[in-house]
Amino acid sequence: MPRILRESLLYISVIVVFAAGCLAAPDFLKPDNQSAVLRQVSQNGILAVGMTLVIITAGIDLSVGRMLGLASTLAAMLLVEKRWTAATYFTVPAAAVSAGILAALVAGTVGGSRSGRRTLAVQCLAFAAAAAAVALWAVPQSRTGFSILSVLVLVPLAGFLLGGVSGVLISKCRLQPFIVTLAMMTSAYGAARLIAASSGSGYIHSLYDSQGNVPTGVDSLRVIDAAQLAACLPSWTPHFLSRSLAEGALRRLLENLPVPGLFFLLCLGAGMFILNRLRFGRHLYAIGGNEETARLSGINVDGVKIAVYAISGMLSFLAGVLACAQYRQGKPDMGAMAELDAIAAVVIGGTSLMGGRGRMMGTLVGVLIFGYLTNILSLRGVSTDVQLFITGIIIVAAVLLQEGYIQRLASRLRFRRRDKESFSRPI
Amino acid sequence: MTFPSMILEARGITKTFPGVVALRNVSFAVAAGEVHAVIGENGAGKSTLMKVLSGVHPDYEGELLLDGKTVRFDGPREAQRAGIGIVHQELNLVRDLTAAENVFLGREPTTRWGLIDRRRMNREAAELFARLDIDVAPDQRIGHLPVGQQQMVEIAKALSLNARVLILDEPTSALSDRETATLFSLIHRLREQGVGIVYISHRMEEVFQVSDRITVLRDGEWVGTVPTAQAARDELIRMMVGRPLTSFFAEDERTTPDERVILSVENLSLAAGVEGRRTRMQNVSFEVRAGEILGLAGLLGSGRTEVLEALFGAYGDRTQGCIQIEGRPVVIRSPLDAIRHGMALVTEDRKASGLVLQLSLRENMSLPSLRRLTRWGMVDGARERRLVDEFIERLSIRTPSREQRVANLSGGTQQKVILGKWLAMTPRILLLDEPTRGIDVGAKAEIYHLLRELSLRRVAVVMASSELPELLELCHRILVMREGRAAALFARENATQEKILHAAAPGG
Ligand SMILES: Nc1ncnc2c1ncn2[C@@H]1O[C@H](COP(=O)(O)OP(=O)(O)OP(=O)(O)O)[C@@H](O)[C@H]1O
Ligand SMILES: [Mg+2]
């Protein structure tokens, strides 16, 4: 099979699924359905981006689903509660430490001088400064309730630290990624329940107050408010633009554009940049392909592994914040089993669980196929139980196609037939 | 026309890969009781032909005849059942299994209850190893054994099949003279029993010593088959490369090293033995001057590899001893430290530690140089491509493109990629472990030339090799290792093969 065809197989399959959707369900093409699909896939998509990076290093991160639940709980409590809660105690120090570590890393690479001791001093300074800055910024907010923006910064930072912990256990203690992230999954769920229950009002934290309002800004994580956007436009904006934004086509377009989808695309872009352009990305492939070769080629294998799990942790916490805004509540049970969907999407996208092979575009396709299939099946009124069953079959079929099994089978049959013909010919 | 005694015959085999025609209308046959050598340059298609014969590639054009009847093996297992055993060019052992488990993989002897009969398996493996003179315990895990011993286990595995046709694809490239001699006496015995043997090697002396007929391939085409008794070395080389031989061995002028010591090693030891290796490296000391090529000679498992790997920081904290580079003591705890000090290590086992097989030639070659090729963490693609192209050209690497996956390159070409990968980072100290393993005659001469060039550019080179002629030809001094210790040091002027072998012999 020509390489071109094999490479485009992935894209063809999305188109096929899309076409099938158009044929099978009349509602499929409607803007609000498409918008709903994007909304649904973006959570899985953000997890899958992190998962792709992890799987390329021949690892696995089973904790992302429960981490998402933990993050949604933290986000809801930070937004609603106007006092110090377990969520604050958890998030603020973790975010401060994360910020410190990131700052120290940046200082280490930028100010990396020959003398190791001076670099270390600079790094310590950077750590302290960044950690203090985050703490000073966050602590006063705890009394008034955190703004949506600070939640969007603090919670993913905390996730970065948690993911990093998995990474340290995997690289420094030489434990299996499967078991470490399994443990992290359980602990994150436990922590989420403890934190959620600590405020004494049950496990589910709703964002609605007694008047039925949600904290300001939460809705800006769901849809783009076109009217508000129109209001803040500068006066020199062309008239037709502001009109269109206020009540015209642009407004309808924006209202159907889910914000989580934008976050997903942003993460996807970042992931592509990492894999295609950064040295870090190249190191991921090398480690996944052959760790020993990578080590002997001078790659800091441990550091890269810690970073990749930290990134996965950060992304799952980001997805948690978005989920919290989306469903207007946070609860430990959110995102249960989401890790399996993410892994499935990554594998459908052609990333090898053996490591060393995979691309972000594939993951996008995997996420879309997954999302569209679920959507089509539910539009057709197929029950969830049957949906799950069919999804399993689809995953196997997609992977068989990916691994070239079907192509190999075809070529083998072809040669068989030819042998038979030449055999019956007199020599 | 089919000889009645031809066991396995290939007729008009054509095998293509995307962008490459590996074999073009090649015919080949092995008779019972003959040793048929196949020679050719790197990438000529030798391994591919063997893979067709042994069922690894079932999708070829042409015909395969077993005892005169057309067959098409669906996979290696079917070929095995038909009595075709193969030792592949690259090691194919499961690193976490024991030697005996590897030998009997997929054919484990079982007890009455269907459980693995471990005792019988170990006993049979021990007998096999004794027959082959292999110094490996059957219950030894294979992963950490030196490559040469792994290779011997691989050969034992093929022998245990009691094959009618035994294919050996560069079996001696990792072996030293002693193991090679054992293997040859075994080949003679098998030949007498009527086994057909296909033997691939780049070492012409071996080919002359062991074979009855020689087939030459060039660029995927059959060039000729000649009885060994009537073959002349120069003629064979001309057939292989398509040019007369003289253009190669242009005598390089000998280089003389500086007085300036670049690398000095004192009492290099490994704190605890490396898992699976019987000998421990202890108190090895030597100096390498600018522009000097120091050879490391010794038997399998004598500690040559350990010296190089320890120097390169591969054992982390377990290495003890004092290392000085240009007079300054340095601490090397990891390969990264070593690379920062301008060291490079070409490892012995391409598949396990030299290459990332899934990645392209470009990505493999630039791996240790990436630090130099990045800005703000981003790889400068244009500079990377320029660097890679330069070394593809300098090492005359045969590849359809720089984006080819290295897994799809021929063994010798892979070896060149590894050399290129380390030369591209412009090392000050170059450590080489069997650098010409699996490299063809012409390319070998090119690499010798390259090493001399490096020596002219004052690079310090330490080179371990099982091929004594190679060491004698290239090195200024030769350090002989025995049982983990430095046994003797010879200057080139007074080094001879006999003296080195004598110093290397255990208990000598
Ligand atoms: N799986 C593959 N995919 C693509 N190309 C391949 C594959 N296997 C071999 N080739 C190509 O086929 C050609 C012949 O390779 P082969 O391994 O048979 O060479 P060889 O004669 O064994 O060389 P060497 O002496 O280096 O081992 C080479 O150009 C190689 O790149
Ligand atoms: Mg070969």
**E strand map for B300-390:** 319-325, 328-330, 343-346, 374-375, 378-379
**pLDDT for residue B427 is more than 50:** yes
Q: How far is A278 from chain B (nearest CA, A)?
A: 4
Per-residue confidence band for A5, with pLDDT thresholds at 50, 70 and 90: low
> What pLDDT is recorded for position A238?
78
Residue of A nearest to B58 (CA): A412
Q: How far does the centroid of ligand 1 lie from the alpha carbon of residue B46, in Å? A: 8
B-chain CB neighbours of A282 within 8 Å are 363, 367, 370, 379
Q: Is residue B28 helix, strand or coil?
A: strand
Residue nearest to atom 25 of ligand 1 (CA): B42
Closest ligand 1 atom to residue B410 Cα is: 17
The percentage of residues in chain B with a pLDDT greater than 70, rounded to a whole number, is: 95
* Structure confidence by residue, pLDDT tens digits, A315-332: 999 999 999 999 999 999
Quickly list DSSP for A165-183.
Answer: HHHHHHHTS---HHHHHHH
The percentage of residues in chain A with a pLDDT greater than 70, rounded to a whole number, is: 93
By the 8 A CB rule, do B39 and B207 touch? Answer: yes
Per-residue confidence band for B274, with pLDDT thresholds at 50, 70 and 90: low
The answer to whether residue A217 neighbours chain B at the CB level (below 8 Å) is no
Taking the domains of chain B in order of start, what are their residue ranges? 6-243, 261-504
**A16: phi then psi, degrees, rounded to nearest 5:** -60, -45
pTM: 0.89
Rounded distance between C-alpha atoms, residue B265 and residue B322, angstroms: 6
* Ligand nearest to the CA of residue B18, numbered in listed order: 1
Give me the CATH topology for the region B261-504.
Rossmann fold (3.40.50)
Provide the β-strand partners of residue B14. Answer: B61
Domains B6-243 and B261-504 share a fold: yes
CB-closest option in B70, B72, B334 to A415: B72
First-to-last CA distance in chain B?
A: 56
> What pLDDT is recorded for position A79?
92
Q: Which of the residue ranges A105-109, A285-289, B465-469 has the most confident prediction, judged by mean pLDDT? A: A285-289
Residue nearest to atom 28 of ligand 1 (CA): B43
Residues lining ligand 2 (ion), CB within 5 A?
B 47, 89, 410-411
> What pLDDT is recorded for position B132?
81
First-to-last CA distance in chain A?
A: 31
* Structure confidence by residue, pLDDT tens digits, B137-168: 898 888 878 888 888 898 889 888 888 999 99
B226, containing H or E segment: strand B221-227
| Interacting residues of A30 by C-beta distance below 8 A, sequence separation 6+ | none
Please report the ipTM that was assigned to this predicted complex: 0.86
Look up residue A267 and give its amino acid: C
Nearest to B222 by CA among B398, B24, B59: B24
Rounded distance between C-alpha atoms, residue A162 and residue A156, angstroms: 10
Provide the β-strand partners of residue A206. Answer: A329
Contact A296 B353 (CB under 8 A): yes
Residue of B nearest to A289 (CA): B356
> What pLDDT is recorded for position A422?
54
Q: Is residue A373 helix, strand or coil?
A: helix
Per-residue confidence band for B266, with pLDDT thresholds at 50, 70 and 90: very high
The percentage of residues in chain A with a pLDDT greater than 90, rounded to a whole number, is: 51
Closest ligand 1 atom to residue B46 Cα is: 21
**pLDDT for residue B4 is more than 60:** no
B-chain CB neighbours of A411 within 8 Å are 59
CB-closest option in A278, A296, A423 to B70: A423
**pLDDT for residue B268 is more than 50:** yes
Q: Which of the residue ranges A107-111, B71-75, B382-386 has the most confident prediction, judged by mean pLDDT? A: B382-386
Residue of B nearest to A357 (CA): B358
The answer to whether residue A193 neighbours chain B at the CB level (below 8 Å) is no
**E strand map for B254-355:** 261-270, 284-289, 293-297, 319-325, 328-330, 343-346
> What pLDDT is recorded for position A161?
97
Residue of B nearest to A298 (CA): B336
Rounded distance between C-alpha atoms, residue A333 and residue A280, angstroms: 34
> What pLDDT is recorded for position A186?
96
Mutate to test the pocket of ligand 1, among B13, B15, B46, B48 (most ligand atoms within 8 A of CB): B48
The phi-psi region of residue B201 (left if phi > 0; otherwise alpha if psi is between -120 and 50; otherwise beta) is beta
**pLDDT for residue B357 is more than 50:** yes
Contact residues of ligand 1, CB 6 A cut-off: B 17, 20, 22, 40, 42-48, 89, 398, 408-413, 438, 440
> What pLDDT is recorded for position B450?
87
Residue nearest to atom 7 of ligand 1 (CA): B408
By the 8 A CB rule, do B367 and B421 touch? Answer: yes
Task: Mark which residues 86-125 of A lie under 8 Å from B by CB.
Answer: 109
B-chain CB neighbours of A307 within 8 Å are none
By the 8 A CB rule, do B454 and B350 touch? Answer: no
Residue nearest to atom 31 of ligand 1 (CA): B409
| Interacting residues of A24 by C-beta distance below 8 A, sequence separation 6+ | A376, A379, A380
B-chain CB neighbours of A280 within 8 Å are 377
Q: How far is A29 from chain B (nearest CA, A)?
A: 40
B-chain CB neighbours of A416 within 8 Å are 72
Domains of chain A, first to last: 3-81+145-413 (1.10.3470)
The chain-wide mean pLDDT, for chain B, equals 89
Contact A298 B339 (CB under 8 A): yes
Query: Token pair of A30, please?
Result: 């409607």
Closest ligand 1 atom to residue B44 Cα is: 21
Pairing of strands B61-66, B84-87: unpaired
Mutate to test the pocket of ligand 1, among B14, B15, B16, B17 (most ligand atoms within 8 A of CB): B17
DSSP state of A367: H
Range with lowest mean pLDDT among A63-72, A109-118, A405-414? A109-118
Closest ligand 1 atom to residue B413 Cα is: 26
> What pLDDT is recorded for position B297?
93
Rounded distance between C-alpha atoms, residue A229 and residue B491, angstroms: 82
Pairing of strands B261-270, B213-218: unpaired
Q: Is residue B136 helix, strand or coil?
A: coil
Task: Tell me the mean pLDDT in the region A376-389.
Answer: 88
By the 8 A CB rule, do B432 and B34 touch? Answer: no
CATH 3.40.50.10260 for domain B6-243, yes or no, is: no
Rounded distance between C-alpha atoms, residue A131 and residue A147, angstroms: 19
* Structure confidence by residue, pLDDT tens digits, B300-339: 888 899 999 999 999 988 888 999 999 999 999 999 999 9
Nearest to B354 by CA among A286, A292, A355: A292
Rounded distance between C-alpha atoms, residue A272 and residue A269, angstroms: 5
Task: Mark which residues 361-420 of A lie under 8 Å from B by CB.
Answer: 411-412, 415-416, 419
pLDDT: which is higher, B143 or A63 = A63
Q: How far does the centroid of ligand 1 lie from the alpha carbon of residue B139, in Å? A: 35
In the sheet with B319-325, reading across from the earlier edge strand, the strands are B284-289, B261-270, B319-325, B328-330
Per-residue confidence band for A400, with pLDDT thresholds at 50, 70 and 90: confident
CB-closest option in B354, B359, B374 to A356: B359
Per-residue confidence band for A221, with pLDDT thresholds at 50, 70 and 90: confident
For residue A82, give Cα distances in angstroms to A88, A215, A325, A405.
Answer: 10, 12, 18, 58
CB-closest option in B353, B368, B377 to A280: B377
Rounded distance between C-alpha atoms, residue B173 and residue A395, angstroms: 44
Q: How far does the centroid of ligand 2 lie from the alpha carbon of residue B294, in Å? A: 29
Q: How far is A327 from chain B (nearest CA, A)?
A: 38
Q: How far is A392 from chain B (nearest CA, A)?
A: 28
Q: Count CB pairs under 8 A between chains A and B.
A: 91
Contact A282 B377 (CB under 8 A): no
Per-residue confidence band for A220, with pLDDT thresholds at 50, 70 and 90: confident
Q: Is residue B197 helix, strand or coil?
A: strand
The answer to whether residue A177 neighbours chain B at the CB level (below 8 Å) is no
Q: Is residue B429 helix, strand or coil?
A: strand
Rounded distance between C-alpha atoms, residue A338 and residue A335, angstroms: 5
> What pLDDT is recorded for position A214?
83
The answer to whether residue A421 neighbours chain B at the CB level (below 8 Å) is no
The phi-psi region of residue A305 (left if phi > 0; otherwise alpha if psi is between -120 and 50; otherwise beta) is alpha
Number of helices (H), then strands (E), belonging to chain B: the values are 17, 22
Nearest to B472 by CA among B295, B258, B257: B295
Q: How far does the centroid of ligand 2 lie from the alpha carbon of residue B480, in Å? A: 30
> Residues A88, A91, A97, CA angle at the centre, nearest 5°?
130
Task: Tell me the mean pLDDT in the region A209-223.
Answer: 83
| Interacting residues of B327 by C-beta distance below 8 A, sequence separation 6+ | B261, B264
A-chain CB neighbours of B354 within 8 Å are 293
The chain-wide mean pLDDT, for chain A, equals 87
Contact A286 B363 (CB under 8 A): yes
Count of CB atoms within 10 A of residue B497's CB?
13
Task: Tell me the mean pLDDT in the region B66-72.
Answer: 90
A-chain CB neighbours of B347 within 8 Å are 296
Residue nearest to atom 6 of ligand 1 (CA): B408
